[in-house]
Chain A
Amino acid sequence: MKAAVIVFPGSNCDRDVQVALRQSMGREPLMVWHKETDFDAVDLIVLPGGFSYGDYLRCGAMAANSPVMKEVVARAAKGVAVLGICNGFQMLTETGLLPGVLMRNADLRFVCRDVGIKVETSQSVFTSRYEQGEAIRIPVAHHDGNYFADEDTLSALEDRGQIAFRYCDADGTVTPQANPNGSQRNIAGVYNEAKTVLGLMPHPERLADPKLGGNDGRPIFDGLVEALS
């Protein structure tokens, strides 16, 4: 698999995801600067977490209009896998590659903690290494992760199997207490219709190493390598 990590000014999880990809790929991903408009063909594009352009307009809004994003959108249309984590998820909703928006957390505070998320399907290039219904534990760290879409959109997402992850407790039960930010229907991550684009708020790259107290994020990267090689 070949992968590219897009680096925006203000990205701060670019190195973390680079490390996680390297660990699973056995080689370096391409690091692509936001001012570039063309880069080598890759099988996976990662939009990392952080505060792109300071998030001063609206989270992800400036990045969605950056030179490199035209290329990302074009490649996504051709079926290249795109993974947006945290700020990357916000960019994906801002570009329209994914439906919905990410609003300020319901309690208006930044939240950093490990959360449980339930894998809604293992039928995607991102989640093939998980069991359907499995609860995994990885951290969130965001101020604007409150997923919102109108009821029709939410129902359509559910009907088409586009919900990737939901916040849940340790044994996989989806409860209001497990929801760290007020997201509709506890949604932590969503796919596009073809399930080639995934956006999620939690950070799999931050718990992909047992030394850090957990390895539940690693199967996403291992699974991608397996599926896209």
Chain B
Amino acid sequence: MTTAMASERPVTPEVVREHGLSDAEYELVLDIMGRAPNLLELGIFSVMWSEHCSYKSSKKWLKTLPTKGPQVIKGPGENAGVIDIGEGLAAIFKMESHNHPSFIEPYQGAATGVGGILRDVFTMGARPVANLNALRFGAPEHPKTRHLVAGVVAGIGGYGNCVGVPTVGGEINFDPSYNGNILVNAMTVGIAPADRIFYSAAAGVGKPVVYVGSKTGRDGIHGATMASAEFDEDSEEKRPTVQVGDPFTEKLLIEACLELMATDAIVAIQDMGAAGLTSSSFEMASKGGSGVELELDKVPCREDGMTPYEMMLSESQERMLIVLQPGKEGLARGIFQKWDLDFAVIGHLTDSGRMVLKMHGQVVGDLPIDPLAEASPEYDRPWQPTPPRGDIDPASLTTATAAAEALTRLMATPDLCSKRWVWEQYDHTVMADTVARPGGDAAVVRIHGSNRGLAMASDCTPRYCEAGPERGGAQAVAESWRNLTAVGARPLAVTDNMNFGNPERPEIMGQFVGCIAGMKAACDALSYPVVSGNVSLYNETNGQAILPTPVIGGVGLIDDLDCLIGAALPGPDQAIVLIGETLGHLGASIYLRDIEDRRDGAPPPVDLADERRNGDFVRAQIHQGGVSACHDLSDGGLAVALAEMALAGDCGADISGALPENTPLTAWLFGEDQARYLVTSSDAEAVLAAAAEAGVAARLLGRSGGDRLILAEGEAISLAELREAHDNWLGDYMKGQG
């Protein structure tokens, strides 16, 4: 029988509600326990069954995503996904959200988001080699946006820079729907020997359970529960639920864990992330079919007098739980002491199938592991499909903006402007293997000591997902695949970070279901399985939901870095060839939104057969050396892609001679049809002939050269003017001048 701590509050219906459990869920708790839980046990149920830890609203749909392929070593269910990258190596990666904490406390929220995702990756035996991040902020004119941008960027940099893992890529959007709920999604990619991957399943009666890393404090208590609820006016009072990061300790922890992993001492290892000691010990025991007994007096604590409840629910950072082979305690202790980290044997595995928590020799908590894990609620929430929208007729555009002027304006919008102000605050060259730096289609990091590289990118177009979730979900996957293809990589697999509003609202659940359907179709068609992911729901404030934002983090392989090309125009006198069909789709486009101030229309169709054919063609051309630069077309269409290539290469271009007859100029230049790339070549004929043979639509647009972009007759703009508009918006805005 468990003893309730003398000072503990009794478990009343009010306390149950505070812990976020519904009446039905509490009934289930009583059923499983066979008695009323004490406060500690209630707290454990609360975090284990929180949306954040249990995926109770999303599980049913996540299961439909393709997760298999010859390249997949380990799909979803572990700390991160694992794929085979050849030559005996594996890439381990995942993306994870830290949205709610980052809104409440941007610096620490974002910093600990980076710390958490790094741990997910090195827990499995990988040395982290790259970080990315996908950020969404509210409208620039919203009074909080500047403060949130500054804090989040500084937090990501403050953590990643200190740990010494380069932050090489990502994306940033601004939209009023994120005014009250910003998104901070952090991704880490690591590399490990394929035959030395570490998992969390812990089995073997009597084996020691070891706590390493930082001490446990009173921070982040109920972080997982906080991240599973909507915000209201009082949300900022939740600041004490945000954890505080210590990247220096993380760096030591990486080195110490990798050193220990090089021995044969580890049975299982798991980082203490959301729900800290509770979820890490539960998951290890549950996956290994074991029981576990912990002596909480032995947990290294930052302050005296911490209760078992606080210890079990703390989300203090930079901590790991390890099950060791018996007799290896001395070896392991020596390594952690070398790195000046805490090391404590705090318990052992049992065969009871229960989690027994002791303090001062008394049992203070006793819960069955499997029933709690298995009974974790799974909901089939009602959902309503998003009503379909019609296409936009270019003739309906009212504003007669000249194309050159529209392009200049677009290049200076918050979404399309240069993000240099951000990524110059991230150390992106540490580790001396970054071969394609931020700002291109995909970042590329060399696999250390080889001539091969990993390409990675993060993508999502939330306005498409709102306008048509299924197309939006497919487009996010397709754009990620295209971005990797554009640098010559073979796309291998993705991690997804599903950011949505309140799933208890059928229209939000409908967005979720639609996006998953689109993602599934695209992942299947492109042989691009999902190997890890994270779901963040309840991104709402006072009933206002964010745009549906399923972020895709893609990873691909470049077998020979000598073939790597970039998006910059490589100089004058190169032929510019457009790959893919242009119908001039303007629905839900950036042009429509930012020039016409309209948010209507269906998102562009995503023809997955075209995507595959065109992408495979472009990649083959890159490998053969047939093209000298490549850029995928996305937001802002042809004109924006060409402008980005011109600015990156500091070289102009003229495409005025190849206007189509049947597409209006605006639709031609700014339409966002999918499956398209711009390539340059010194031998246009060869590229066009190869495209014809492969059944790929290709069109010679013009040539590079000069210091202007000539889009059409009378529609020219100097690069200098374009650069001025593009480069300065964000920096000026952050100075308060935007």
Contacts and interface: CB of A to CB of B under 8 A. Distances in A.
A53 interface: yes
B430 A16 contact: yes
A31 interface: no
A51 B251 contact: yes
Contacts of A109: 154, 424-425
A205 B427 contact: no
Contact of A12 (B249, B251, B339, B451): B251
A206 B430 contact: yes
Given A9-B340, A10-B248, A16 B432 contact: yes
Contacts of A13: 164, 430
Question: From DSSP, what is the main secondary structure of chain A's interface residues?
Answer: mixed
A112 B251 contact: no
Given A205-B432, A206-B432, A9 B424 contact: no
Interface stretch (B155-163, B356-364, B486-494): B155-163
A26 interface: no
Nearest to B561: A211
B354 interface: no
Contacts of A20: 432
A53 B430 contact: no
B247 interface: yes
Q: In this complex, which of B157, B162, B561 has the most chain A Cβ atoms within 10 angstroms of its Cβ? A: B162
Contact of A56 (B158, B248, B340): B248
B434 interface: yes
B659 interface: no
A189 interface: no
A214 B666 CA distance: 40
A213 B435 contact: yes
A138 B642 CA distance: 29
Interface string A189-222: 0000000000000010110110111000000000
Contacts of A49: 430
A39 interface: no
Contacts of B446: 211-212
A141 interface: yes
Interface string A131-162: 00000000101010000000000000000000
Nearest to B436: A213
Nearest to B127: A15
A228 interface: no
A112 B168 CA distance: 11
Contacts of B164: 12-13, 50-51
Given A12-B164, A203-B429, A111 B424 contact: yes
Given A56-B248, A211-B435, A110 B429 contact: no
Contacts of A203: 429
B252 interface: yes
Contacts of A16: 430-432
Contacts of B451: 211
B426 interface: yes
B708 interface: no
B246 A141 contact: no
B428 interface: yes
A139 B437 CA distance: 12
Interface string A21-53: 000000000000000000000000000011101
A61 to B, nearest CB: 14
Interface string B569-581: 0000000000000
Contacts of B248: 9-10, 51, 53-56
A10 B252 contact: yes
Nearest to A139: B429
B432 A10 contact: no
A227 interface: no
Interface string A45-71: 000011101111000000000000000
Nearest to A203: B429
Contacts of A51: 161-162, 164, 247-248, 251
A80 B446 CA distance: 34
A37 B247 CA distance: 27
A112 B432 contact: no
B438 to A, nearest CB: 10
A56 B163 CA distance: 14
A206 B430 CA distance: 7
A19 interface: yes
Interface string B125-162: 00000000000000000000000000000100110011
B432 A141 contact: no
B556 to A, nearest CB: 18
Nearest to A141: B427
A213 B157 CA distance: 23
A111 B433 CA distance: 19
A19 B431 CA distance: 10
A50 B164 CA distance: 7
A118 B47 CA distance: 57
B432 A110 contact: no
B251 A10 contact: yes
A137 to B, nearest CB: 12
A33 to B, nearest CB: 8
B432 A212 contact: yes
Contacts of A213: 435, 437
Contacts of B437: 213
A112 B426 contact: yes
A110 B161 contact: yes
Contacts of A209: 432
Interface in B414-428: 423-428
A51 B247 CA distance: 10
A143 B340 CA distance: 25
Contacts of B339: 9
A141 B248 CA distance: 17
Interface in B236-279: 246-249, 251-252
A20 B435 CA distance: 16
B553 to A, nearest CB: 22
B7 to A, nearest CB: 35
Nearest to A113: B424
Contact of A110 (B251, B427, B433, B561): B427
B427 A112 contact: yes
Nearest to B161: A110
Nearest to B246: A54
Contacts of A15: 431
A55 B425 CA distance: 17
A51 B430 CA distance: 12
Contacts of B561: 211
Nearest to B437: A213
Q: In this complex, which of A9, A16, A112 has the most chain B Cβ atoms within 10 angstroms of its Cβ? A: A112
A110 B247 contact: no
B340 to A, nearest CB: 7
A112 B435 contact: no
A206 B432 CA distance: 5
A16 B424 CA distance: 20
B340 A112 contact: no
A54 B246 CA distance: 8
A205 B431 CA distance: 10
Given A13-B164, A51-B251, A54-B246, A212 B434 contact: yes
B430 A141 contact: yes
Interface in B400-454: 423-435, 437, 446, 451
A54 B247 contact: yes
Interface in B512-564: 561
Interface in B48-101: none
Contacts of B154: 109-110
5 contacts: A12-B251, A15-B431, A56-B248, A110-B161, A206-B432
Given A12-B430, A208-B432, 8 more contacts: A15-B431, A53-B248, A54-B162, A55-B162, A206-B430, A206-B432, A211-B451, A213-B437
Interface of A: 9-10, 12-13, 15-16, 19-20, 49-51, 53-56, 109-113, 139, 141, 143, 203, 205-206, 208-209, 211-213
Interface of B: 154, 157-158, 161-164, 246-249, 251-252, 339-340, 423-435, 437, 446, 451, 561
The 4 A-B pairs at the shortest CB distance, nearest first, are namely: A12-B164, A54-B248, A16-B432, A141-B427
